[in-house]
Amino acid sequence: MCVEMKDQLFGKNLNELQDLSLALGLPKFTGKQLADWLYKKEISSIDEMSNLSKKARDLLNEKYEFGLSIPSKVQVSIDGTKKYLFPTSHNKFIETAMIPDDDRKTVCVSTQVGCKMGCLFCMTGKQGFQGQLTAGEIVNQIRSIEEYGEVSNIVYMGMGEPFDNLDAVLKSLEILTSEWGFAMSPRRITVSSIGIIPAMIRFLNESEAHLAISLHTPFDEERRKLMPVQIAYPIAEVVNEIKGWDFGRQRRVSFEYILFKGLNDSAYHVRELTRLLAGIRCRINLIRFHPVPGTPLESPDEETITSFRDQLTAKDITTTIRASRGQDIYAACGLLSTKELMS
C-alpha cells in the first residue's frame, strides 16, 4: 500500500494558504485564518482551529498536516545556553541554539542539513551536504522550542550557508516579519553568510534583515585556504558590493572574524582590515575559535584577542568580542548533530 505523504501547512506564506484554501473549495479568507492559527496562536493541530468549520478542518486534514516538529534532544549549558536537536528526514539532524543574555533570548537557526562550503574551521562542513531545509523547518526551530514567545532576536548562523538556500531563507523571513505571520521586526534578525554575491544582492533587495559576512581574514591567499568560496567570490568583491549598497540608518552590516592563533591575529591584519572596510559603517564581531576535531587551528590567548579588538577600535571600527557560550554542550555548529549522526 502506498501511503501518500501529507503536505505541511506550517511554512506556507499567505498567498499559498489562500491558494490552497481556494483549491479545497474554501473561501479565500480561510487563508488568513490559517495564517493566524499557524503563526499567531500556540496550537499544533488542524483540529484546534476552532473558527473553521468541521468540514473545512476535515478537508484540510485530508491533504495537510500542521507541520510542527518537536526537538528530539535538548542540552542545557551551565551558562543557560540551550542546544536543541531537531530530526529531519533520512535520520539526519539539525541544531538550534538558544542563547540567553540578560533580558534577550537569541535563537540561532540552521538553514541546511550539513553544508557544501567546506570551510576549514567548521564542523558542519565535515558532514558534507545532506539537504536543504524548507522555510517551515527553519521557522519551526523558533516555534518549537521552549522559549517560543520569549525570543527577542534571531540569527541565521547555525548549520549551513543561508545564501545557498536563499528561497527558503527569504520565505522564512517573510513568515517571521509579515503582519500575517510572526510580525517580528526585521531589525531583530541577522542573516550570516560567507558572501555568495548574487544571493547577497537578492537578499539585500528582498529582505530588510541585517547582514553579517564571515570575513575571517582580509587576505585573499589566506582566505582561500580557510574558505574555498574565496575562489569564486573573493572577499574584496563582496565588500565592494556592500560598499555600493545603501543600508540606511536602521539596517546593519557586520563582519564575523574568528581569530586563529598566529594566522589572522596580527597588526598586519588590523591594517588590511581597516583598509578593506574603509567607508563602510559596520561592526566587527571577533569570535574565539573553539577547536573542532581534525582542524589544525588554535585560538589565540585572551591578551591577543583584546589587543586585536583595541587596535581595530583605535582605527574607529566598532569591534566587539563575542562571548563564548555553551562550550560544555557542543555549542559550535555541527558538533552535536555530527555526534548524533555517529552514535
Partner 1 sequence: MGHINQQFCIFDDKSTTMAKAAEYSRSEIPLFTVKVIENVELSPGVFLISWRSQLHFIPGQVVKIAVDRLQPPRIYSVCSGNSGDIMSVLFNIKEEGYLTPRLARYVAGDHLLVSAPYGSFHGDHDPAYWIATGTGISPFYSMFQSGLSHNKVLIHGVSYLNQFYFEEELSWALGGNYIRCCSRESDERVYSGRVTDYLLETNNFPKDYKYYLCGKSLMVVDVRDLLISKGIPYENIFAEIYF
Tell me how far, at minimum, the Cβ of 12 lies from partner 1, in Å. 17
- Closest C-alpha among 148, 131, 123, 65 to residue 93: 131
Contact call for residue 92 and partner 1 (CB under 8 A): no
Stretch that binds partner 1, among 16-24, 71-79, 85-93, 158-166 (CB under 8 A): 158-166
Tell me how far, at minimum, the Cβ of 126 lies from partner 1, in Å. 5
Is the sign of the CA dihedral 58, 61, 62, 63 positive or negative?
positive
Contact call for residue 262 and partner 1 (CB under 8 A): no
Stretch that binds partner 1, among 32-40, 70-78, 224-232, 246-254 (CB under 8 A): 224-232
As given in the structure block, the three cell numbers for residue 26 are 474554501
Binding mask 319-338 for partner 1 (x = CB under 8 A): --------------------
Task: Say whether 122 is catalytic.
Answer: no
The alpha carbon torsion through 67, 72, 76, 81 (nearest 10 deg) reads -30
Distances (CA, A) of 104 to 19, 100, 213: 37, 6, 23
Tell me how far, at minimum, the Cβ of 187 lies from partner 1, in Å. 23
Contact call for residue 198 and partner 1 (CB under 8 A): yes
Coil, strand or helix: which one is 231? helix
Binding mask 117-156 for partner 1 (x = CB under 8 A): xx-x----xxxxx---------------------------
Tell me how far, at minimum, the Cβ of 188 lies from partner 1, in Å. 26
Chain-centre distance for alpha carbon 76: 20
Give the H/E segment covering residue 7. strand 7-8
Tell me how far, at minimum, the Cβ of 113 lies from partner 1, in Å. 12
Cβ distance 67 to 44 under 8 Å?
Answer: no
Task: Say whether 95 is catalytic.
Answer: yes
Rg, the chain, Cα only: 21
224 versus 315: smaller Cβ distance to partner 1: 224
As given in the structure block, the three cell numbers for residue 205 are 533587495
Give the H/E segment covering residue 208. none
How far apart are the C-alpha atoms of 226 and 37, rounded to whole Å? 45
Binding region for partner 1 (CB under 8 A): 114-118, 120, 125-129, 161, 163-164, 166-167, 196-199, 201-202, 205, 220, 224-225, 228-234, 237, 241, 294-297
The residues assigned a catalytic role are 95, 333
